[in-house]
Amino acid sequence: MKDESAVNKKVGAEYREKYVKEQGVLKTKSGLLYEIVKEGTGIKPKVEDTVIVYYKGMLSDSSEFDNSYLRNMPLTISLNSEIKGWTEGLVHAKR
């Protein structure tokens, strides 16, 4: 397990080093890397809000593990109960 963890950490670090250099990729103070594919026109959400989002979940090797676009079904999430990166990306990140 330790060997696998070390490999995953290295692969993740290499991915982030490459991704941060791509056009349109932004980085927050915490290190969250994100890209705005299509900016919304509504009100910027607050931590206590529930939002409806389309998303594509991908691993560092570019394999897709989930895609709400393919299902044509957005996800409704409460930002104060989700993964910290979702909250940071949708609430605190610059647009």
The arithmetic mean of pLDDT across residues 23-36, rounded, is: 90
Give the domain range for residue 72: 2-92
pLDDT attached to residue 76: 93
3-state secondary structure 48-74: CCEEEECCEEECCCCCEEEEHHHHCCC
pLDDT at 94 over 70: no
**CATH number of the CATH domain containing 81:** 3.10.50.40
Q: Mean of the per-residue pLDDT values for the chain?
A: 88
Q: What is the number of domains present in the chain?
A: 1
pLDDT attached to residue 19: 92
- Over residues 32-43, the pLDDT tens digits come to 998 888 887 888
Q: pTM for this structure?
A: 0.72
